[in-house]
Homo-oligomer: A and B are copies of this chain.
């Protein structure tokens, strides 16, 4: 049993860490912080925890934190996380940061996309990018993980085999992705009001301005060893959980759907959480809701020489907190699946 702390536990990814770690056999949640709600019980914010979790939110204090826990999940917004992470690193502590603050080795990339100065540029490049299926070995040896964004997780997993095998044009990738409303966070505003989202779809950051673009391009470029450039459009859709990505790629050569599926099955054969669907079957969000799985399906469009790859993940699990736990499992030598075995909630 190790003690873990969740810094920024009042948001949706924090609450999801609590939900998943409550049934993780190797850890004890010993410290949860939320400055705004300090002194309140977790169940006052998340009524699913009544009678199950009696933890109280505390105000963050790095000394207390390090006394109470050995592994930290930092579930703070970007810009805030960068102030906290440096205080937790070192002294054999392990840190998994769920924000975007440590995903780029280059300060200027961060600053131009996130529109704010980075206060700890000395730490940039020191975190391993925690996309478990791509970087598993590096993660095992690391004490500092930058957990991937939700959109990048869904997209990179979906096209990694195509890029690795040089099957598609690196400069002609289009990602059209739907996110559930939990992706917009717990803050209440006009955009997250039920009556704004219900029976609706809308779009935001259209035209190449979403901060997940450089992250996706950076990691895809590493896989392909060429510079990847992509068009990305996020939409907010009327469901609570999920990222549904439809990706359009230009094929460099004639290849069939069947051959591509074989390539995918080979690529992911040792990765339990990635499920390649048979020909003619495509992912559904509901199939992965509440689970750490990523479903991938694809089809070649022979008329236009493209392959359409579709992936589905739960944004709060594989797209955030579940993957963070998967990272912890790898870092700590636990079974990679521990705490993450739930099957998607169907119906």
Residues of A with Cβ closer than 8 Å to B? 12, 15, 19, 22-23, 46-53, 174, 176, 178, 181-182, 186, 188-190, 192-204, 206-208, 229-231, 233, 235, 237-242, 244, 246, 248, 257, 275-277, 281-291, 293, 295, 297, 299-304, 306, 308, 310, 312, 316, 341-347
Would A52 and B282 count as touching, CB distance under 8 A?
A: no
- The verdict on A345 contacting B290 (CB below 8 Å), with A50-B275, A186-B193, A194-B194 known, is yes
Cβ–Cβ < 8 Å partners of A196 in chain B: 194, 286, 347
Copies in the complex: 4
**A316 CA / B288 CA spacing, docked (Å):** 18
Partner of A230, one of B198, B233, B304: B304
Partner of A237, one of B201, B203, B248: B201
Would A51 and B275 count as touching, CB distance under 8 A?
A: yes
Cβ–Cβ < 8 Å partners of A53 in chain B: 343
Q: What is the CB-to-nearest-CB distance from A214 to chain B, in angstroms, rounded to a whole number?
A: 10
Partner of A343, one of B22, B182, B288: B22
- The verdict on A201 contacting B182 (CB below 8 Å), with A48-B343, A208-B303 known, is no
Q: Which B-chain residue is minimally distant from A191 (CB atoms)?
A: B188
Would A295 and B231 count as touching, CB distance under 8 A?
A: no
Q: What is the CB-to-nearest-CB distance from A108 to chain B, in angstroms, rounded to a whole number?
A: 16
Partner of A287, one of B50, B275, B288: B50
Would B50 and A200 count as touching, CB distance under 8 A?
A: no
Q: What is the CB-to-nearest-CB distance from A139 to chain B, in angstroms, rounded to a whole number?
A: 22
Would B200 and A285 count as touching, CB distance under 8 A?
A: yes
Q: Which B-chain residue is minimally distant from A239 (CB atoms)?
A: B199
Cβ–Cβ < 8 Å partners of A233 in chain B: 246, 308
Q: What is the CB-to-nearest-CB distance from A17 to chain B, in angstroms, rounded to a whole number?
A: 12
Would A239 and B200 count as touching, CB distance under 8 A?
A: yes
**A312 CA / B198 CA spacing, docked (Å):** 15
Would A237 and B240 count as touching, CB distance under 8 A?
A: no
Q: Which B-chain residue is minimally distant from A19 (CB atoms)?
A: B343
Would A346 and B19 count as touching, CB distance under 8 A?
A: yes
5 pairs of A and B residues whose beta carbons are closest in the complex: A207-B299, A195-B347, A48-B344, A208-B301, A51-B275
Q: What is the CB-to-nearest-CB distance from A278 to chain B, in angstroms, rounded to a whole number?
A: 8
- The verdict on A248 contacting B246 (CB below 8 Å), with A193-B194, A238-B239 known, is no
Cβ–Cβ < 8 Å partners of A237 in chain B: 178, 201, 237-238
Q: What is the CB-to-nearest-CB distance from A287 to chain B, in angstroms, rounded to a whole number?
A: 4
- The verdict on A284 contacting B47 (CB below 8 Å), with A308-B206, A308-B233 known, is yes
Cβ–Cβ < 8 Å partners of A342 in chain B: 23, 342
Would A289 and B199 count as touching, CB distance under 8 A?
A: yes
Would B47 and A346 count as touching, CB distance under 8 A?
A: yes
- The verdict on A198 contacting B284 (CB below 8 Å), with A49-B343, A188-B192 known, is no
**A93 CA / B52 CA spacing, docked (Å):** 34
Q: What is the CB-to-nearest-CB distance from A33 to chain B, in angstroms, rounded to a whole number?
A: 20
Would B289 and A208 count as touching, CB distance under 8 A?
A: no
21 A–B contact pairs at CB < 8 A?
A46-B346, A48-B286, A49-B343, A51-B276, A51-B293, A174-B174, A181-B195, A188-B190, A192-B194, A194-B194, A198-B198, A199-B241, A200-B239, A200-B286, A203-B246, A206-B308, A207-B300, A231-B303, A240-B347, A248-B248, A345-B345
